[in-house]
Amino acid sequence: MIELEPRQFQCPGYYIRAASKPFEARGAEALRRRVFVGEQGIFKIHDRDEIDLVATHLVALSTYAHEADQVVGTVRIHEERPGLWWGSRLAVDSDFRQVGRLGSELIRLAVCTANARGCDTFLAHVQMQNVPLFRRLKWTVLDEIMLHGIPHARMTADLGHYPPCDDPNAGWYMKPGRRG
């Protein structure tokens, strides 16, 4: 009888990158619907708007055998005018929020991508419960506003903390517990 040594369980990793495949775009849209319509009730049917047509959509993808498996996080970025970029619709699947860092890594890719594209100001409207996360990531509150009946902080990123990412389609692979 051959005894096999027990293998140590390997946690799955996550790709953090620009959505480039149809299943990634569909997965990001479905995730946003689950979070902003189903969980938070901010929108009645969907959260899509005209920005979706011009935005770069970024995703966090869980992996199975190192192959992208499902969209578990998303955010979008767009340039409002030359140099002024916005991030919006940050969402992480409720089953993956305990993983940690998925939201942070999406924020990092968002700002690094904009930084590579000539960003001189990066802004976001952040729900108040998420302000501490953004502060840890070197963002500053500019003011507070109401959006869709929910208090938000208008925040700006410290671009010096986010080196340019010239290839968001490649992005990076993240293992839980280790940086990018």
Domain ranges across the chain: 14-174
- Tens-digit pLDDT profile for residues 74-105: 999 999 999 999 999 999 999 999 888 999 99
List, for residues 132-168, the tens digit of each pLDDT value.
999 999 999 999 999 999 999 999 999 999 999 999 9
Average pLDDT over the chain, rounded to an integer: 91
For residues 27, 30, 32, 38, the Cα torsion angle rounded to the nearest 10 degrees is -150
Indicate the pTM of the whole model.
Answer: 0.90
Q: Give residue-wise pLDDT tens across range 53-82.
A: 999 999 999 987 777 789 999 999 999 999
Architecture label for domain 14-174: 3-Layer(aba) Sandwich (3.40)
